[in-house]
Amino acid sequence: MKQSRRSFIKGGIAGAISGAGLPLYGSEASESLPPTPNETEGPFYPVQAQKDKDFDLTLIEGSSQSAAGNHIYVEGIVVDTAMNPVEDVTIELWQANAAGRYRHPHDTNPAPIDPHFQGWAIVPSGAKGDFRFKTVLPGAYAVSGRWLRPPHIHFKVSKRGYEELVTQMYFPGNELNEVDRLLQRKTQEEQSAMISAKIKDAPETYQYRIVIQPV
């Protein structure tokens, strides 16, 4: 059975308060934060309608079989540049499955489509700017013969009164991060802002802070 929206939000609040990984509420000495770096939306932004857009991408509504791969949780917070949590933000997210293929008609990757993987979701932030979702660790995939993209999750973050943000979240310690053509275009500080922190092994959980800019 899929976890309810209430249970996911509650879990997100608990995770944000625990603060085991990133300084989610901006404990840095500075009084402000730069916005999370923008990144390309890529060619696989969702274009196919689906009824199931909820917080658990590992199980499609009506199915009893889970998605293949390593199931993980991602939790975090959306704050503004003054380090204030921003509630009721619309967070669209999409990613490749565990084999490195998107659920998208234009993805020509020969890797198999996982019929049990949701592929994308729309997650609202809670009253304290927090969010949490369950997914699979995305697989790497080849863009060309010389470029293998590291595992990553795409985010599009929007709320009236703030600049829309499109970015990508990466995973810590992956060797492909060091040679990725998109990530390596960023400064060291920007790269750090785009790489999540692993805060728990069981269940495997990553933490990510998203900073948005008021208009």
Q: Would you name the residues annotated as active-site residues?
A: 102, 141, 149, 152, 154
CA distance 205 to 194: 16
- The upper half-sphere exposure of residue 169, i.e. CA atoms within 13 Å in the direction of its Cβ, equals 26
**What one-character-per-residue DSSP string does 107-172 give?**
---SSPP-TT---EEEEE--TTSEEEEEEEPPPPEEEETTEEEPPEEEEEEE-TTB--EEEEEE-T
CA dist 131 and 10 (Å) reads 9
Do 159 and 42 contact (CB within 8 A), yes or no? no
Q: Which tokens in the block code for residue 14?
A: 């608990």
Question: What are the CA-CA distances from residue 80 to residues 57, 72, 120, 123, 165 (Å)?
Answer: 27, 26, 24, 18, 12
Query: Do residues 103 and 120 lie in contact, with contact meaning Cβ atoms separated by under 8 Å?
Result: yes
| Phi-psi sector, 56: left (phi>0), alpha (psi -120 to 50), beta | beta
